[in-house]
Structure 1
Amino acid sequence: MYREISCRDAGADCDFMVRAETQEELLEIVADHACRSHNLCEFSPLLREKVLTHMKTVTL
């Protein structure tokens, strides 16, 4: 099973989508994308909670 989220799932006008094997890996990738693409370089507890709220568990 994988974890998945897209910027659109979280309400952003962005086509980025990520799928990772672990929640920790997903959060790391999302934090990097948020900084590089959205200038949100401080991955705050509020942003982390938003990601976790919108994260889906998927099977491939």
Structure 2
Amino acid sequence: MIKISYEFKCKDIGMDCGFDVKADSIDELIPVIQAHAKNAHGINEISPELYETVKKAIKKA
């Protein structure tokens, strides 16, 4: 069985940031991305628009 993983990079949404995370599912990625956004970028609340931008930037790894 082939295992699919997913990856998100801040630079893929235009951020000057080297953050790169991989997980087995999108649902596993989202909380990690939210924590990074808060801690590294001071984004306390993810707007619906930013959430959609982030979801579109998640790629199969």
Task: Provide TM-score, normalisation by structure 1.
Answer: 0.90
CA distance in 1, matches of 2:23, 2:48: 20
RMSD (CA atoms)? 0.7
The equivalent of 1:30 in structure 2 is 33
The structure with the larger Rg is 2
Point out the structure with the larger helix share. 2
Q: Which runs of 4+ in 1 moved over 2 A?
A: none
Percent of aligned positions with the same letter in both sequences? 36
CA distance in 2, matches of 1:28, 1:44: 14
One-letter amino acid of the counterpart of residue 46, structure 2: F
1:47 maps onto 2:54 in alignment? no
Deviation, structure 1 residue 44: 1.6
CA distance in 1, matches of 2:37, 2:21: 12
Which consecutive residues of structure 2, in runs of 5 or more, have no partner in the other structure? none
Number of residue pairs matched by the alignment: 58
Which consecutive residues of structure 1, in runs of 5 or more, have no partner in the other structure? none
Question: CA contact under 8 A between 1:27 and 1:48: conserved in structure 2?
Answer: no
CA distance in 1, matches of 2:49, 2:27: 16
